[in-house]
Amino acid sequence: MHGTEGTFKGKVFAVIPSDPWQWVVPLRGVNLRPGALVCHLSLEGGGAALEVQDWESLFQEGVNYALQVEGEGPHPLSVSVSARLSRRLVAPTGLELGFALPPDSEIDAWFKGGASP
């Protein structure tokens, strides 16, 4: 198996369409396993131009988002995938976002030891 289930410290970028632009939002990977990815959107640091409620309106449960997932290690991971937001929790430092990954994604192939994305 190429990937290891559990803690994922990689980078994730979510694309939020907004006519006529797209927002690219950096997230911190928290946990990765076949079929699921959990990320954290930090709202600490005083530089956030939006409030928690604004971010909640941008990340809607049940909506698909384009994600760029990047991980390092002996078997690096760099894939783009469309994933449905299945869970959104307000945490003391930001939002915790849980994404359901499609079963045939390159991430699943990475876990199974198939072709490295």
Residue 1 is assigned to a structural domain of this protein = no
Residue 54 lies in a domain: yes
Q: How confident is the model at residue 99 (pLDDT cuts 50, 70, 90)?
A: very high
Q: Judge whether 65 lies within some domain.
A: yes
Residue 102: partners with Cβ closer than 8 Å, 6 or more residues away: 81, 82, 83
Domain residue limits at 25: 6-112
Quote the CA–CA distance of 74 and 90 in Å, as a whole number: 33
What pLDDT does residue 60 have? 94
Q: pLDDT for 58-95, tens place per residue? A: 999 999 999 999 877 666 778 899 999 999 999 888 89
Residue 60, domain CATH: 2.30.110.10
| pLDDT tens digits, one per residue of 15-55 | 998 888 888 999 999 998 888 999 999 887 655 567 888 88
102 located within any domain: yes
What's the domain count of the chain?
A: 1
pTM score above 0.85: no
What is the Cα–Cα distance from 10 to 25, expressed in whole angstroms?
14
